[in-house]
Structure 1
Amino acid sequence: MDPYVIQMQDHGSLPSVLDVHVNITGRSSVLGKVKSRKARWSVRPSDMSNKTFNPIRAIVDNMKVKPNPNKTMIALSIGDPTVFGNLPTDPEVTQAIKDALDSGKFNGYVPSIGYLSSREEVASYYHCPEAPLEAKDVILTSGCSQAIELCLAVLANPGQNILVPRPGFSLYRTLAESMGIEVKLYNLLPEKNWEIDLKQLESLIDEKTVCLIVNNPSNPCGSVFSRRHLQKILAVAARQCVPILADEIYGDMVFSDSKFEPLATLSSNVPILSCGGLAKRWLVPGWRMGWILIHDRRDIFGNESNADLCYGALAAIPGLRPIRPSGAMYLMVGIEMEHFPEFENDVEFTERLVAEQSVHCLPATCFEYPNFFRVVITVPEVMMLEACSRIQEFCEQHYHCAEGSQEECDK
């Protein structure tokens, strides 16, 4: 006999009350177990959440950022062009949003890949004979970050690996590792204006490699690859049959002496997922409007003056090695640590820079590249001049001659 018997009396169709009699038979130990059982909370983080790690947050949140109270804070660390108000959004863009809201036509659910009319506009803007696009080749996303996330989710499975630049945007690692995807770091060469070490890159590729991420123009380096270098990258991808995720969010932010070449215009046989968005070009990162451009023809699947000004000022400071940018919003500065022996690494260097001079730059350890720091160059010119002056004062106070380098010290 079952230990639990439930008898329900039928009072006709749809009774207002059901009489339920519960007869418990069987051994007393069964009843004892029922009475003694105590519910316990057991809510544990998922495997994905345990694998999610943001290097920038992990480093910056633990930095001792206490500005000098006698100096106004200058933040050269935030990659948001709207922070200081010196780069306003174009009124035409703002008016277009107002018109869309007033129309009342866009308040409902949106197709998962975006409105057809919007996708047609994006395709029309980026279409060219070398890299043709139609609306069907465009997927609209919640910012460029989601575009990258969707690309990784489509291209890679847990246990496979992707190739990521070093130094590079930390989101690539954060997203990949949360999905159980291995990250292999290929090197960018500062002495070659942050070009890729192609030989080292190719040595990382194995049977589990499913994607090469190319960030051009670069965050954090501000570099823009030449056509010739891009062709060499594509040659590696074609030879190894590895598709490319092209993060080209800064493609419309290139200085006048450089030229941005969309990667997809240089190849017809390498499948490329190009990620972009409105955030940087139109100075609206909070609007969260991004896209994926699918280039797969074989069905295989600024602010220029601030950059020059900042580079010139930092290049004159002993112990620092800025690398001239060509686009995006950033400049990377090497720290000759042998001249700053009191600091163990770039994190300590930037912490003390904040504490003494109230200038906040991101240590490049955040980008897998120690002994550099990243400067955001979209701040107002007067603020940039002041920041460079403070950085110079800081370096002069802490600079020490390395043994056998008197010539450098005499400069």
Structure 2
Amino acid sequence: MELNGAQNNGINGNFMYGNSVHHVSVRTQVSVNPAKLKSLRQRWNVRPSEMSKKTLNPIRAIVDGMKLTPNPEKPMIALSIGDPTVFGNMPTDDTVLQAVKEAIDSHKYNGYAPSVGYQKSREAVANFYSCPEAPLEDKDVILTSGCSQAIELAINVLCNPGDNILVPRPGFSLYKTLAVSMGIQVKHYNLLPEKSWEIDLQHLESLIDDKTACLIVNNPSNPCGSVFSREHQHKILSVASRNCIPILADEIYGDMVFPGCDFYLMLAHPQVGIEMEHFPDFQNDVEFTERLVTEQSVFCLPATAFEYPNFFRIVVTVPEEMMIEACIRIREFCARHYRPRSQDSHELDQ
């Protein structure tokens, strides 16, 4: 005797019936609703990775949360993005444009390139940067999609989870974004505003331990606009050499100049300090810059985004007349909200 079902659990046994022994196979049926089974298979359970949970862009996190409602009576002046091309500064040279057009028209470069870049391109970069003290060949060069990818690649090559890197404060936010997402600790070394934002070398060296994988040096600096002297650069190299720490040198702005002017583009990114005790209407630099937009339609980046509160960063790559107008508005804003200390009040009354 056998009982069948859609899903069976077998039970075997023998029993006596008269003088005969009979074998019985019994299978119990468990019914499953096909529609329910289908719904279980189609239920999504996509979870974010641990790396994605640790990935944060401080600038976006701060700016996206700001209440930015410009004054409708005043046209907006954005002093927040360091892109000189927006207003026609630093146009691409005609020689470069023509070379790009010829490369496209040749149909030779429509497919995959070598992962490190075309050899002729790497040879050109090597020849440009090579010097007798540090000769370079094409094999020493890897081409990346912008400086951000180069930084990410270098950190990946130099660091393991649990290591730490030394990052300037104030400094470009991408360093922290990449490192934290990879499980790498960030240690901030101080820059000194009273010394044109030179590195506090004593503080820098005090942060080094056996888990330090690299030292990031950003020169010319974003967001400070400073350029280190040769003497100061030698001192930085001495610290790194003494402690056997490799340097990740972010010098993306090093060769960018305005036509007819002999100064670094990054000098157009000064940081302005806010004496918050004189501005009791605001709790911090974020509120200060929010209200600057609301009242004067001038947008500057709060330096909290660069790990340096109570400052704000401006760019001066806008046209001259726009820069003058922005300065007039900032001055009006500060005059409206400035509150002198009690001991200063008597002096002002005089």
Q: Which TM bucket (shorter chain)? A: 0.7 to 0.9
Structure 2 CA distance for partners of 1:167 and 1:394, relative to 1, 3 Å: same
Q: Give the whole-Å Cα distance in 2 for the aligned partners of 1:58 and 1:203.
A: 30
Name the CA distance, whole Å, in 1 between partners of 2:218 and 2:59. Answer: 18
**1:96 is matched with which residue?**
99
2-side partners of 1:96 and 1:210: how far apart? 40
Task: Give the CA RMSD over aligned residues.
Answer: 2.5
Indicate yes or no: 2:129 matched with 1:126.
yes
1:115 paired with 2:115, answer no
Specify which structure has the higher proportion of helix: 2
Query: CA offsets per residue over residues 293-337 of structure 1, 9 Å max, x none?
Result: xxxxxxxxx3898x9xxxxxxxxxxxxxxxxx9845411111111
CA contact (8 A) 1:219 1:328 kept: no
Bigger-Rg structure (1/2)? 2
Within the candidate set 31, 43, 47, 1:44 is matched to 47
Deviation at 1:363, TM superposition (A): 0.2
Aligned to 2:279: 340
Query: Does 2:226 align with 1:223?
Result: yes
Q: Which whole-Å deviations, capped at 9, do the CAs of 1:195-244 have from their partners, x for residues lacking one?
A: 01111111111111001000000000000001111111111111111100
Q: Where in structure 2 are the equivalents of 1:40-189 lying within 5 Å? A: 40-189=43-192
Counterpart residue type for residue 276 of structure 2: M
Gaps in structure 1 of 5+ consecutive residues? 1-21, 255-301, 308-324
Contact 2:90-2:259 within 8 A present in 1 as well: no
Q: For residue 409 of structure 1, report the CA deviation from its aligned partner.
A: 4.9
Q: Which residue of 2 aligns with 1:316?
A: none
**Deviation sequence 1:133-158 (CA, Å, 0-9, x none):** 11011000000000000000000011
Verify the 8 A CA contact 1:224 1:326 in the aligned structure 2: no
Give TM-score, length-normalised by structure 1.
Answer: 0.75
2:328 to 376, 389, 411: 389
Aligned counterparts of 1:225 and 1:381: Cα–Cα separation in 2: 27
Distance, in Å, in 1 between the alignment partners of 2:129 and 2:30 is: 72
Correspondence 1:362 to 2:325? no
Q: Does the CA-based 8 Å contact 2:125-2:141 persist in structure 1?
A: yes
Distance 2:74 2:304 in 1: 26
Assess, with a 3 A threshold, how the Cα gap between structure 1 residues 127 and 182 changes in structure 2: closer, same or farther: same
| Residues 90-111 of structure 1: CA deviation (Å, up to 9, x unaligned) | 2222122111111111111100
Q: Find the aligned partners of 1:30 and 1:406 in 2 and give their Cα distance.
A: 92
Using the TM superposition, give the Cα deviation of residue 404 of structure 1 relative to its aligned residue in structure 2, in angstroms: 2.5
Amino acid in structure 2 at the alignment position of 1:26:
N
1:102 alignment partner, SS class: helix
Verify the 8 A CA contact 1:253 1:328 in the aligned structure 2.
no
| C-alpha distance in structure 1 between counterparts of 2:132 and 2:234, whole Å | 18
Partner Cα separation in structure 1 for residue 32 and residue 336 of structure 2? 73
Deviation of the 1:29 alpha carbon: 7.5
Change (3 A) 1:362 1:228: same
| 2:272–2:312 Cα contact (<8 Å) kept | yes
For 2:91 and 2:101, the matched residues in 1 are separated by: 16
**Shift, 1:175, TM fit:** 0.7
The alignment status of 1:377 with 2:324, answered yes or no, reads no
Q: Counterpart of 2:211?
A: 208
| Gap change, CA 1:333 and 1:304, over 3 Å in 2 | farther
User: Which of 331, 336, 350 is the matching residue for 2:289?
Assistant: 350
**Contact 2:223-2:270 at 8 Å conserved across structures:** yes
> 2:303, 2:309 within 8 Å by CA — same for their partners in 1?
yes
Distance 1:384 1:364 in 2: 20
State yes or no: 1:26 paired with 2:9.
yes
State the aligned residue count.
Answer: 326
Whole-Å separation in 1 of the counterparts to 2:317 and 2:241:
37
**Which amino acid in structure 2 is aligned with residue 335 of structure 1?**
I
Whether contact under 8 Å (2:214, 2:247) holds in the other structure is yes
In structure 2, what is the Cα distance between the partners aligned to 1:29 and 1:351?
A: 72
Shift, 1:164, TM fit? 0.4
CA distance in 1, matches of 2:88, 2:48: 40
Change (3 A) 1:409 1:113: farther
The AA in structure 1 aligned to 2:219 is: N
Describe the SS at the equivalent of 1:95: helix
